[in-house]
Structure 1
Amino acid sequence: MHGKIELPPLRVLPQVLLDLLFREDSETINFIENIRAYNSMFAFTSMGGEIDASVNNGCGPFVFRLHGQNFHQIGSLLPEEGLPPAFTQLYIFDTENESSDVKIILISGRGTNEKTYNLPTTSEVAALFVGDFDEEIDARDIIVETKGKKFTRISDLHPAYLPLQYPLLFPFGEDGYHIDLHLKRTTTTSKKPRSKVSMREFFAYRIFERYNQFSALMFSGKLFQQFLVDGFTMIEAERIRYLKLNQKALRADKYSNVSAYAASGNQDSTKCGKRIVLPSTYVGGAGYMREKYMDAMTVCQTFGYPELLITFTCNPKWSEITRHLQQRRLKSEDRADILSRVFKMKLNSLIFEIHNKNLFGSSRGVIYTIEFQKRGLPHAHILLWLKPRSKTPTTSDINKVISAEVPDQATDPIFYDIVKELMIHGPCGLANPRSPCMDKGKCTKKFPKDFSNDTSIYIYKIEFSLS
């Protein structure tokens, strides 16, 4: 970020939380394993998205997976008459300072003196939730009432959005993202330089580890996964909100759309031109995917079919990853940011070797896409177009880059250990009937397979029948 952004450092956790994170005893193990449950016990808000736990049924690493629209919702801290406290509610019996008509607004702006908006000094705990009670109340403010009728969403632009959801990470209530965060300096020469910190920049700053600043985020394990997913959905919501509010500037509703709608025979004119259109610049949208697909088809139209399909998968045992994690006593799934950064650097290096140094022959085109497996590790599918002289490789050409042999342990001990650990299937079958590949007593990958002394090229044949 070239020094453009400087956020206030997070305060060091209370000693009790530091002990639970870093002591080497059974309490720490239990706390780390169930940190999301402990966080929920103290959270004032709940997540509105649908959490998919089915992905964690196997024996792989923990993955936090969320379906649908994500949001935070908050309810009254005091239950209604005759009803028990619900989730995110806290019931405190205190008759010393009874009050039935307390309403407090937690102001989202940060330009005023904090003491101006101090909460009442009485011991009663009021309920917090957003509501349209007065027209002059800003939509980003959180309203505090004594009684609440339902759970209500909180704006993701409110400074308390994150600390209310993650009390174990922000026990002192440090501000999350809000629209009044300013850049430290600007490097653009534009006549109208941007002065505010974006939500993406805020999260990028918070999840970057600095050796001179302690951050509980980096040691929170499964809760860090939830925080990353939460942050991503907040960034996506901000982008979609911008597109929704700037449809006219994006020229999404052109006259041609109106004409096409009228020509389709629809009689309801109220729906004409009111759809929210996502432009091709929105990553992951239909327009974006269609544009990338057409780009790939244009390459095929120019160079023909690709010659090679290469899969490149992240290995959590890479030394760059394990060296960093072992120093902090973390697992690979605890630091998705480290996995992604190391993977992308190695992928860039591989693409350079393939395309610029002609690792598999003279290259004239390459396309790749990155996906994330259900178990959390990224992998890439790479399509490679070769020049005519490299288009039809022989078996000897293939043997130069692909080997399905176990190296000699005496002459190649390093490669022998790598192949033995990473490139041999099983054991499965009768030797290990509980192997993940086993289904109904048989290996789904059809192992064991026959050995072959020579490399062969399989020719795909498609039979056509005319009737």
Structure 2
Amino acid sequence: MGGKIGNSINRGNAPYTFRLGGENYHSIGSLLPLDGNKPQFSQLYIYDTENEISNRQRVFGESSSDADNYENYIINYLKEMLDSQNPLVHAYHMVRDTFKENPQIDFKLRIVGTRKYDARTYNLPTASEVAALIVGDIGDAMEKRDIIVNSSSGGLRQISELHPSYTPLQFPLLYPFGEDGYKVDIPHRNVDPSSRPNQFSLPLNERRLFQQLLVDKYTMVESQRLHFIRGKQSELRSDTYESLETLRRQEIQMFQHLGSVGYGYPDFFLTITCNPGWPEVKRFLKDTNLNSEDRPDILCRIFKMKLDSMIKLLKDKALFGKIKTAVYTNEFQKHGCLENICFWTREIVQNNTADNEDPQVDEIKAFYDCRYLSACEAAWRIFAFDVHYRVSAVTILPFHLPGQQQVIYGPEEDIEDVLTKTSNSVSMFTGWMEANRNYEHARRLSYAEFPTQFVWKKTSPPKWVERQSGFAIGRIHVVPASFDEAYYLRILLNKVKGPKCFEDIRKVYGFVCDSFRDACYRRGLLDDDKEYIEAIEEASHTANGYYLRNLFATMLITSSLSRPDYVWDNTWQFLVDGILYHQQKKHKNPGLSLGDEQLKNLALLQIEEFLVSNYSSLRRFSHMPFPDQEFVSTSMNPLMMEELSYDKDSLPNDFKLLYTSLTDE
């Protein structure tokens, strides 16, 4: 086991907790140690076996003579047990005997990863079934999951946790007969627990080692799920419907993915913490010599029963009034105990970022870097108990701009086939508009209210159908204001009922607005931003232009402005203050003259630089002007600026004066 085992919490003042941090991995060493090194791990079965007991005792450090005798007795007893029963030990002894007969030969040990029979039903595996010696090249005899152990490699090699011999190799005392662990395509058997009453289980009585076993088992499950996700990244394709249509015309367009869901404010906040001293735990362990921390699986089961009982009591007995919604989350504290956090509401709550340009993040690595796993959490997840629970059901309601619905397709699929699929052209959001065309009573519901009376069925094609039973709450994706039109569409969805198309959403008092933002403003859902205009105008009396431009950029970053372009149009004359002076000083040309558009460009350039330094851009605000790149490059050239430095206002007067002074000749 190669994960980071955290012992900082085990200071003797609390029950022992096995805790693993970061990514777990599994390694195996060579058959022989390097010259001058002492044997360790499986090398103890092969190298210097005449002193095997003392070599194993050395692992535990120095002790008194009485302790030495006691340890020697235990080590010898366990050695004889494994030597006589464990087929993996027999395989290593086969290596030992081969080395004695041919000490110069170079060979490898192949630990076979496939089985012809299920060892849980048939006889236990033998040494010849689980391992084989290979002399020379491996050739074609090796299969994908076989473990190849070199004679002397001098390092550790990572192995697959899906190998059936991994578990007995890692925990030989828990599996003394070399029983196979989990493997791919293992047959599933439904076993009635009552068919084996009072059957002794060695792993369940191994105290701290059982905690390690639980953690190791769950990391095997988790790593395979994450490995599947990582391995499928090259095959998964996701884009918008509009982008695929554009790609068909050889033009590529990016898409936006909208945020997450909110739950509103609860009426009650409860916490429940697992107590290892509960009477049920003591009653279960009374005839054993185990402590409560030695059976994290029992703690999880009892905690789950108490949690379910409490939820049923609060819902059925209505101790806090009639409960319509509830959410709970289980967290696992660093000392290993379970804690539950519950949120309850008596009424249905009201409805409540990253840019595509951000660099890609390895989410799997980030997950491993910041997570730790205790035995209680491993047991809870192996039992598949709910980590997050909610009632009533919450239906997540995605939405999108026209043509921006997400489309999933395979790496080999033709674009024409993807676009002609009905399921790709119909989304939950457009299906809502289709239902408004088909059901008259549906037009009385907003998008968030729709799941209370309709259910989204993923048929072919998918569609909304009338709800026959049950209850659900609708939750629309939360979108930051920086998403511009999507943000304004999100605002309108809380107000508009029964639209049959996107134009109906933009329609206000019979007039179809050009954008969702204009529709919000026409409905009075947005402020007129006059207070921000007045703030900039007031600040211009005491502050310089540099400060005003930073103030305006800060308003953009914090999404304070409903109509940034409107504020810009009414304050640009203040925001360009000082631009001309600095350009004259920069080019050492006191007579330099710049027009309004040139001043605006330079002011926008400084605002853009401030936004970029704060991971934003003017391009995020679709209605805001963007600095003219051609003019910006020209402004950096002093010769061109000198040629262009003329006063447009005075030139007509100069022209008239000079024109009248011309003679007939």
What amino acid does structure 2 have at the position aligned with 1:164? Answer: L
Aligned to 1:98: 102
Asked if the contact 1:308/1:383 (under 8 Å) is kept, the reply is yes
Q: Name which of 13, 16, 21 aligns with 1:59.
A: 13
Q: Name which of 301, 317, 326 aligns with 1:357.
A: 317
What amino acid does structure 1 have at the position aligned with 2:161? Answer: D
Once the two structures are TM-superposed, the CA of residue 89 in structure 1 deviates from its matched residue by 3.2
Q: Secondary structure at the match of 1:360?
A: coil
Aligned to 1:164: 169
Once the two structures are TM-superposed, the CA of residue 87 in structure 1 deviates from its matched residue by 5.1
Do residues 227 (structure 1) and 210 (structure 2) align? no
What amino acid does structure 2 have at the position aligned with 1:111? Answer: K
**Paired residue total:** 278
Change (3 A) 1:143 1:380: same
Once the two structures are TM-superposed, the CA of residue 233 in structure 1 deviates from its matched residue by 0.3
Aligned to 1:397: none
Once the two structures are TM-superposed, the CA of residue 154 in structure 1 deviates from its matched residue by 1.4
- For residues 377 and 208 of structure 1, the distance between their equivalents in structure 2, rounded to whole angstroms, comes to 29
Once the two structures are TM-superposed, the CA of residue 64 in structure 1 deviates from its matched residue by 0.5
Aligned to 2:181: 176
Change (3 A) 1:208 1:217: farther
Q: Alignment RMSD, CA only?
A: 3.7
Asked if the contact 2:18/2:208 (under 8 Å) is kept, the reply is yes
Once the two structures are TM-superposed, the CA of residue 146 in structure 1 deviates from its matched residue by 2.1
Aligned to 2:550: none
Aligned to 1:155: 160
Once the two structures are TM-superposed, the CA of residue 316 in structure 1 deviates from its matched residue by 1.5
What amino acid does structure 1 have at the position aligned with 2:222? Answer: E
Change (3 A) 1:208 1:135: farther
| Cα distance per residue 1:232-272 (max 9 Å; x no partner) | 100101212233344477xx432359x89xxxxxxxxxxx9
- For residues 192 and 210 of structure 2, the distance between their equivalents in structure 1, rounded to whole angstroms, comes to 11
Query: Which residues of structure 2 form unaligned runs of 5+?
Result: 50-95, 118-124, 245-253, 349-534, 540-665
What amino acid does structure 2 have at the position aligned with 1:59? Answer: N
Once the two structures are TM-superposed, the CA of residue 209 in structure 1 deviates from its matched residue by 11
What amino acid does structure 1 have at the position aligned with 2:30? Answer: S
Aligned to 1:309: 269
- For residues 194 and 284 of structure 2, the distance between their equivalents in structure 1, rounded to whole angstroms, comes to 14
Q: Secondary structure at the match of 1:238?
A: helix
- For residues 206 and 114 of structure 1, the distance between their equivalents in structure 2, rounded to whole angstroms, comes to 28
Change (3 A) 1:208 1:311: farther
Structure 2 counterparts to residues 242-321 of structure 1, below 5 A: 242-247=228-233, 252-256=236-240, 294=261, 297=262, 299-300=263-264, 305-321=265-281
Q: Name which of 48, 58, 81 aligns with 2:2.
A: 48
Once the two structures are TM-superposed, the CA of residue 167 in structure 1 deviates from its matched residue by 1.0
Change (3 A) 1:362 1:384: same
- For residues 353 and 67 of structure 1, the distance between their equivalents in structure 2, rounded to whole angstroms, comes to 37
- For residues 71 and 315 of structure 1, the distance between their equivalents in structure 2, rounded to whole angstroms, comes to 32
Higher RCO (C-alpha under 8 Å, 6+ residues apart): 1
Aligned to 2:299: 339
Once the two structures are TM-superposed, the CA of residue 50 in structure 1 deviates from its matched residue by 0.6
Instruction: Output the TM-score relative to the length of structure 2.
Output: 0.38
Structure 2 counterparts to residues 437-456 of structure 1, below 5 A: none
Asked if the contact 2:111/2:130 (under 8 Å) is kept, the reply is no
Once the two structures are TM-superposed, the CA of residue 384 in structure 1 deviates from its matched residue by 1.1
Say which structure is richer in helix: 2
- For residues 161 and 377 of structure 1, the distance between their equivalents in structure 2, rounded to whole angstroms, comes to 29
Change (3 A) 1:383 1:227: same
What amino acid does structure 2 have at the position aligned with 1:253? Answer: R
Once the two structures are TM-superposed, the CA of residue 317 in structure 1 deviates from its matched residue by 1.9
Instruction: Output the TM-score relative to the length of structure 1.
Output: 0.53
What amino acid does structure 1 have at the position aligned with 2:205? Answer: F
- For residues 353 and 75 of structure 1, the distance between their equivalents in structure 2, rounded to whole angstroms, comes to 55
Structure 2 counterparts to residues 79-90 of structure 1, below 5 A: 79-86=33-40, 88-90=42-44
Once the two structures are TM-superposed, the CA of residue 134 in structure 1 deviates from its matched residue by 4.3
- For residues 147 and 208 of structure 1, the distance between their equivalents in structure 2, rounded to whole angstroms, comes to 49
Asked if the contact 1:217/1:224 (under 8 Å) is kept, the reply is yes
Aligned to 1:442: none
Change (3 A) 1:96 1:237: closer
- For residues 316 and 209 of structure 2, the distance between their equivalents in structure 1, rounded to whole angstroms, comes to 41
- For residues 196 and 215 of structure 2, the distance between their equivalents in structure 1, rounded to whole angstroms, comes to 21
What amino acid does structure 2 have at the position aligned with 1:311? Answer: T
- For residues 48 and 149 of structure 1, the distance between their equivalents in structure 2, rounded to whole angstroms, comes to 17
| Cα distance per residue 1:425-444 (max 9 Å; x no partner) | xxxxxxxxxxxxxxxxxxxx
Change (3 A) 1:184 1:366: closer
- For residues 316 and 70 of structure 1, the distance between their equivalents in structure 2, rounded to whole angstroms, comes to 28
- For residues 328 and 36 of structure 2, the distance between their equivalents in structure 1, rounded to whole angstroms, comes to 60
Q: Name which of 348, 353, 356 aligns with 2:308.
A: 348
Q: Secondary structure at the match of 2:272?
A: strand
Aligned to 2:26: 72
Asked if the contact 2:273/2:339 (under 8 Å) is kept, the reply is yes
Q: Secondary structure at the match of 2:312?
A: helix
Do residues 215 (structure 1) and 198 (structure 2) align? no
Asked if the contact 1:321/1:342 (under 8 Å) is kept, the reply is yes
Asked if the contact 1:207/1:217 (under 8 Å) is kept, the reply is no
Asked if the contact 1:207/1:218 (under 8 Å) is kept, the reply is no
- For residues 111 and 240 of structure 2, the distance between their equivalents in structure 1, rounded to whole angstroms, comes to 47
Aligned to 1:326: 286
Q: Secondary structure at the match of 1:56?
A: coil
Query: Which residues of structure 1 form unaligned runs of 5+?
Result: 1-46, 121-125, 186-204, 261-271, 273-286, 389-465
- For residues 322 and 167 of structure 2, the distance between their equivalents in structure 1, rounded to whole angstroms, comes to 51
Percent identity between matched residues is 40
Once the two structures are TM-superposed, the CA of residue 85 in structure 1 deviates from its matched residue by 2.9
- For residues 149 and 194 of structure 2, the distance between their equivalents in structure 1, rounded to whole angstroms, comes to 34
Asked if the contact 1:48/1:71 (under 8 Å) is kept, the reply is yes
Change (3 A) 1:336 1:118: closer
Once the two structures are TM-superposed, the CA of residue 214 in structure 1 deviates from its matched residue by 2.2
Q: Secondary structure at the match of 2:102?
A: coil
Change (3 A) 1:209 1:218: farther
Once the two structures are TM-superposed, the CA of residue 98 in structure 1 deviates from its matched residue by 3.0
- For residues 163 and 130 of structure 2, the distance between their equivalents in structure 1, rounded to whole angstroms, comes to 17
Change (3 A) 1:319 1:376: same
